[in-house]
C-alpha cells in the first residue's frame, strides 16, 4: 500500500484562485489540518495528498488532479469514498469528476459478479439489445402485479422489475408479491420457452435487505432491483458479497448527482461497488442529462477496467416506444432498454404495446457507427 490514486475534480473559480482551491482539496481529502501542524516528515511525504495537475475545463472551470495515498484507504471500500469525496462534497464549487486506482486499491472491489455477459447468459441472448419493463403504479395489489408481470413476460420482455416505489406496503407485501410474481414469470417462460427474469425491489436497512434477499432467493429469484445510493453504497457492497448469485440492477433513486458527475456516479462508482446493470435517466426523458453525459456514462460502464466485468447500461426515465431505434443506435447492442409508464398508457393494449417494444428491439439493425460491445 505504498501507491497513490488520482482523484479529479471540476472546480468553478477564477484562475487566480485555482491553485489555492486545489491545495485546499488536497488538504481536505487527506490530513484535513494546516500543514504547519504536521511535524513528522513521514506524514508530509507519505500521507498528505498532492496536487498533480491543474487544467482549464471551460470558462471559469478547472480540472484538478489530486494524488491521494493508498495507505489512507487501507482495505476499506467505504474509506475509499471518504478519501476521494468526503469533505470536498460540502463545497458548492467542487464536483467529483473522476478517479484512477492503483492495482492494490482496485483489488478491494470485485465489481459486478455477472455483468453484461452473465446477464446475457441467464437470458439466452448473446448478442442483441435487451428489454426491461416496470410494474407500475405502486398501489396495485399482488394479483394485479402478478398479472402484469405475466403479461410483460408473455410479450417477450427480458427483465420485469418492480417499480422502485414498491416496497412492503400493505397493498403488496414483499414475500407474497415476490412469490406470486416469480410464479407468474415462471409460468410465462414455460409458455413461451423464452427466458425472462423478475427483479423485485430490495429497500430497507441492512438488516431488512438481508431478510428480503433470503425470501427472494428461496422463491427462486435471480435478479433484484436496488437503489445503491438510497440503501447506501456500503450496505449494497455487503449485500453483493453475501448474495453473489443475484444479478443487481441499480436504480438511480436518491442519487442526486450534482456534486458527483453523473457519468462517474452511475457509470463507474456503481460498477466498482458491484452493479451488474445500471438504470440511469436518459437524455430527452423526464430528467436533464445531455447526450454527452449519457454517452460517457455508458462508455464508463462498459470500458475495460482491470478485472472488473462490464456493467449493462439501462437508459430510462420517461422513454417512449417512438424512440427505440434512436436509442439503440445511440447506445448499441450492449444495452437494455427500460420502458415504464409508456407501455401502460392504453390499459386495454398493454400486451400489444409491450410486444411492439420487444419486436422493434429484435428487428433493429445497428448502424455502422453504433457503439461497440462492452
Q: Which stretch binds a second copy (CB under 8 A): 65-73, 118-126, 305-313, 355-363?
A: 65-73
User: How far apart are CB 22 and a second copy at their closest, in Å?
Assistant: 14
In the list 14, 16, 34, 368, the residue contacting a second copy (rule: CB under 8 A) is 34
What is the number of alpha carbons within 13 Å of residue 40 lying toward its C-beta? 6
Beta partners for residue 280, in sequence order = 315
Question: Distance between CA 56 and CA 158 in Å, rounded?
Answer: 44
The reply to whether 104 sits near a second copy by the rule CB under 8 A is no
Question: Distance between CA 226 and CA 221 in Å, rounded?
Answer: 14
The reply to whether 367 sits near a second copy by the rule CB under 8 A is no
Output the nine-digit C-alpha cell for 29: 481529502
In the bound state with a second copy, the residue whose beta carbon lies nearer, of 7 and 227, is 227
The reply to whether 14 sits near a second copy by the rule CB under 8 A is no
Residue 226: cis peptide before it, omega within 30 degrees of 0: no
Under 8 Å between Cβ of 236 and 274: yes
The reply to whether 36 sits near a second copy by the rule CB under 8 A is yes
Taking CA atoms, 303 is separated from 21, 240, 310, in Å, by 31, 21, 7
User: How far apart are CB 228 and a second copy at their closest, in Å?
Assistant: 9
The reply to whether 171 sits near a second copy by the rule CB under 8 A is yes
Three-state SS string over 159-202 comes to EEEECCCCCCCCCCCHHHHHHHHHHHHHHHHHHHCCCCEEECEE
Which position has the grid cell 424512440? 323
In the bound state with a second copy, the residue whose beta carbon lies nearer, of 32 and 100, is 32
Length of the chain: 374
DSSP state of 327: H
Binding to a second copy, residues 320-339 (CB under 8 A)? none
The reply to whether 86 sits near a second copy by the rule CB under 8 A is yes
Q: Which stretch binds a second copy (CB under 8 A): 117-125, 185-193, 203-211, 355-363?
A: 203-211
User: How far apart are CB 79 and a second copy at their closest, in Å?
Assistant: 5
In the bound state with a second copy, the residue whose beta carbon lies nearer, of 209 and 247, is 209
In the bound state with a second copy, the residue whose beta carbon lies nearer, of 195 and 341, is 341
The reply to whether 206 sits near a second copy by the rule CB under 8 A is yes
Binding to a second copy, residues 224-283 (CB under 8 A)? 227, 230-235, 237-238, 252-260, 281
What does the longest C-alpha to C-alpha distance in the chain come to? 74
The reply to whether 167 sits near a second copy by the rule CB under 8 A is yes
In the bound state with a second copy, the residue whose beta carbon lies nearer, of 24 and 147, is 24
b/e per residue 36-53 (b: at least 16 CB within 10 A): eeeeeeeeeeeebbebee
In the list 92, 193, 368, 372, the residue contacting a second copy (rule: CB under 8 A) is 92
Taking CA atoms, 236 is separated from 131, 168, 244, in Å, by 24, 19, 11
The reply to whether 46 sits near a second copy by the rule CB under 8 A is yes
Question: Distance between CA 177 and CA 219 in Å, rounded?
Answer: 10
In the list 16, 58, 207, 304, the residue contacting a second copy (rule: CB under 8 A) is 207
Binding to a second copy, residues 107-146 (CB under 8 A)? 136-140
User: How far apart are CB 245 and a second copy at their closest, in Å?
Assistant: 18
The reply to whether 204 sits near a second copy by the rule CB under 8 A is yes
Amino acid at each position: 500500500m505504498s501507491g497513490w490514486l488520482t482523484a479529479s475534480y471540476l472546480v468553478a473559480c477564477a484562475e487566480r484562485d485555482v491553485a489555492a482551491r486545489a491545495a485546499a482539496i488536497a488538504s481536505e481529502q487527506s490530513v484535513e489540518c494546516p500543514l504547519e501542524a504536521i511535524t513528522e516528515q513521514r506524514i508530509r511525504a507519505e500521507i498528505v495528498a498532492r496536487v498533480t495537475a491543474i487544467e482549464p475545463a471551460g470558462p471559469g472551470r478547472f480540472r484538478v488532479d489530486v494524488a491521494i495515498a493508498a495507505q489512507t484507504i487501507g482495505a476499506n471500500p467505504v474509506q475509499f469514498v471518504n478519501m476521494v469525496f468526503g469533505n470536498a462534497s460540502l463545497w458548492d464549487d467542487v464536483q467529483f469528476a473522476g478517479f484512477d486506482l492503483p492495482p492494490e486499491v482496485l483489488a478491494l472491489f470485485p465489481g459486478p459478479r455477472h455483468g453484461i455477459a452473465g446477464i446475457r447468459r441467464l437470458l439466452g441472448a448473446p448478442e442483441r439489445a435487451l428489454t426491461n419493463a416496470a410494474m407500475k403504479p405502486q398501489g396495485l395489489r399482488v394479483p394485479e402485479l402478478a398479472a402484469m408481470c405475466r403479461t410483460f413476460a408473455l410479450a417477450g420482455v427480458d427483465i420485469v422489475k418492480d417499480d422502485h416505489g414498491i416496497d412492503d406496503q400493505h397493498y403488496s407485501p414483499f414475500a407474497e408479491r415476490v412469490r406470486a410474481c416469480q410464479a407468474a414469470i415462471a409460468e410465462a417462460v414455460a409458455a413461451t420457452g423464452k427466458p425472462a427474469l423478475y427483479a423485485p425491489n430490495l429497500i430497507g436497512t441492512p438488516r431488512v435487505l438481508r431478510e428480503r434477499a433470503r425470501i427472494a432467493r428461496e422463491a427462486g429469484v435471480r435478479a433484484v432491483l436496488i437503489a445503491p445510493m438510497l440503501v447506501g453504497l456500503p450496505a449494497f457492497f455487503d449485500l453483493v458479497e453475501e448474495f453473489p448469485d443475484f444479478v443487481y440492477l441499480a436504480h438511480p433513486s436518491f442519487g442526486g448527482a450534482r456534486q458527483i458527475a453523473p457519468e462517474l456516479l452511475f457509470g463507474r462508482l456503481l460498477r466498482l461497488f458491484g452493479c451488474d446493470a445500471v438504470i440511469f435517466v436518459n437524455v430527452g426523458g423526464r430528467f436533464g442529462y445531455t447526450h454527452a453525459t449519457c454517452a460517457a456514462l455508458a462508455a464508463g460502464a462498459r470500458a475495460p477496467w482491470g478485472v472488473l466485468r462490464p456493467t449493462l447500461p439501462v437508459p430510462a426515465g420517461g422513454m417512449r416506444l417512438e424512440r427505440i431505434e434512436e436509442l439503440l443506435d445511440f447506445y448499441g447492442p450492449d444495452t437494455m432498454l427500460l420502458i415504464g409508464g409508456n407501455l401502460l398508457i392504453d390499459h386495454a393494449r398493454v400486451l400489444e404495446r409491450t410486444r411492439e417494444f420487444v419486436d422493434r428491439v429484435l428487428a433493429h439493425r445497428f448502424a455502422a457507427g453504433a457503439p461497440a460491445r462492452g
